[in-house]
Structure 1
Amino acid sequence: MRKFFITIIINCFALLIFAQDPGWTVNPSDYQFSANLTGVISQNGVFINSTGNKLGAFVNGQLRGVATSTNVIGQQMFFLTIYSNVSSGETVSFKTYIANEDSIYNIKDSIAYVKNSVYGSPQTPIELKIPNNQTDFLTFSFSQQISPASINAVNHTVNIELVNGSSLSNLIANFTLSEGAICAINSVEQASGIDANDFTNPVIYVVTAEDGISIENWTVNVSISTLLSNEANLLSFSFAEQTGLAIIDNGTQSVTVEVSNGTILSNLVASFTLSAGATATVNSAQQQSGITANDFSSPVTYTVLAQDLSTSKNWTVNVTVESLVSNETNILTFSITEQALPATIDNNAHVVTVETVNAINLSSLTPTFTLSSGAMATVNEISQLSGVTSNNFTYPLIYKVLAEDGNTSQNWIVHIYDPILITDTTFVTINDTVTFNVTDTTFVTINDTVTFSVTDTTFIISYDTITVTLNDTTFITVYDSISVTDTLIIDVILSVNPLSQNTIKVYPNPASDMIYINSGNFGLMSNYSIKITSLVGQIVFESLLNQSDFVIDVNTFGQTGTYLVYILDDALNIVEQRKIILF
């Protein structure tokens, strides 16, 4: 939004007040706290060393301290005590009375008050600045100029000559002013390098100093050279697809520009500006800014012919495509030669599940996998190579995937299992069987079976069974026969001390409503954690083992069935795994 110049003058006019000695006084007994400041006054970068000056400290317009200047080795210095009834939190502003001008100025600096603070010292006093009253143009230029502008600070004029063929009707000036000053044309504030004006006739810039009072009119005269230009430069160069500004090297006559990842270089349209009156060709084909397309797959040479038609320069344009560093941490594919079906990869839960063919040894499998571009994977800090590195998949493993950016990482649970085996099987249902044996099975349902033997099985439901032999079984429901409930015991050998052990209890197992976790002597397991997942790796509960007991509503798990309980050490390595049943 434009700022109108007259408003600025009115708002800033209060910066200076013509007055007699203000007679500032403060009664220290009115206040509980104080702080001290040693300072000097400056304006336009020059210290004020006249005598008899005063410095006042103010909080919301209330005088809180006053000091008269004192000569310290040729410099007028103020030793000011600032008073307050609060210990901190107030902003202190300043005014100064300059005796030889009989004027009061607002100081543009302020401090945050803290009781008993000492601001500055005689060796390093705080510089308190009166707003600048200078109104000068320090620099002034146009991109089309032949030579630097002539700036006359006495007559307040700027004279500048542009190359032959330049248009004066819509020129953008670049300039710098005295510190804090602003300028306007016809009451419209001007911004260097942004605002365009018609310089066909002399233009008047009104420059207002930082103090809001001092004003100077500057006349800018722009002329056109009668000589034909011999300049043959590329002044600017860009693509719509670029990622940043082009680098134009006048020494090597080269342009380097990067375009966004995925940009096709074979048909790019460049926008460019040349020296006034100059033209450009590529392989003798005339070039028009923003219209002509070229193949930038390899460096392209622009031949720029100056306005005088005798001077030319070859400019080499090099275009590169942005190389993105990926932060993706995905497992894209995962397989083993022994698998029965393609792996299931859950990108939300970060779980890979692989079902194997019957009766394989899980203790030494070599998976083949692909990761996000540039990513790498480790298991227990050991680098994994697809098709090379073997691991023991008897229990689920955690693959840590580190992205190409070297910072982003994600843990993936890889679960390889055989759901068909009767030995160490997750779920078995047997119908109309005369005799069978089941060993180390998580969940067994038996219907209309004459005789069976079950060893080390977690959960059994039997209907209409005549003879039952059970060994080391956690939970059995034999309708018209027996019912047993047990506690899952997890003994954890601590990695910090191999001779130490802690016992964790999860009960009841199986459970239908609530399960309880007793962490035992959890203080021995700093940063150890417990995690419960479904058989496909969905996490339903996890927590640090930082309290003695947990109570978990299993209805939040979503469904009945078998769940895996993991104990992880402080490096997230799985140290123990057990199974629980929900029904």
Structure 2
Amino acid sequence: MRNNIYKIFILVLMSINAFGQSPDWSVNENSFQYTMSIEGFINVDGKTLSNVNDKVAAFVNGECRGSARLLYVPAEKKYIAYLTVFANVDSEVISFKIYDSATNSIKNVEKTKVFENNKHFGNLFQAYSFASPSLNSSAEIVDFKFKDLKVIDKTAVGSQLTLFVDKDTNVSALNGIFELSLGAKLFVGTINQVSGSNTIDFKNPVEFQVLSEDQSVLKKWTVIVKIGTAKFYKKDAVCYAGGIIKVLYDDNNATVTLSKNGKLITSQKVTNGETIFNNLEVGAYVINVGGMNKEVSIKQKN
């Protein structure tokens, strides 16, 4: 009987050594006057943790100021840590540590945060990242196009993208294919969009939100789809006759501008599907119509 008990005891010790124990991160809450709270997710080596035994803790000069385990939020289908940080003064620099139960390891979080009394950071949609190593903070749309649909032309001005498609295109149910910053996600409202597997109505401009991998940046983008595109023709200058640029465009009464060296020269309306700029000097011109820019060079022919 004693031998059996001894064997069981040895097995328990071996089990503890094999799987390790969660660190005893604790804080005497009664020793502090102030609190701030953080709603975040935990990521180690690019993997978001999802075990209720995983946890994060806050420290000031090695002193634990709060800890929290992951909790599952069924409505959002994600694991979140609700961390309360304690202090007696503002502006202390808070550092963080992660306990990864799967590997029984403790990781340091590179990012720190300054304590602010009674402040809350993060939410279920845009949570604070406790990550080792740090995650990407870019929230860019690198490329945007459509499945089974040719984009004739594309312009980008700031966070606005304009895509031109054939005039007979039905834009009420397009399947967007997009490339984002590393690890970022694209949303319409708070609904995540999957590249190549979505149906979006582009009859009007669509406002997207791009959430960076570390969820610290939420950037708004507008994608506009325009039906029809312009065609450009030119005639170089000959002897004393100036050059000519002709613009064909489906949208009558649209304004076409002509610029050179960054300065506006003139603007004209599209009439009967075209507009013509005459008597142009030699040089490089930029024509803008319907949000699309086109550079056309007039040369001198002998």
Q: TM-score, normalised by structure 2?
A: 0.35
Instruction: Answer with 1 or 2: which has the greater Rg.
Output: 1
- TM normalised by structure 1 equals 0.21
Q: Which gives a bigger RCO, structure 1 or 2 (Cα 8 Å, sep 6+)?
A: 2
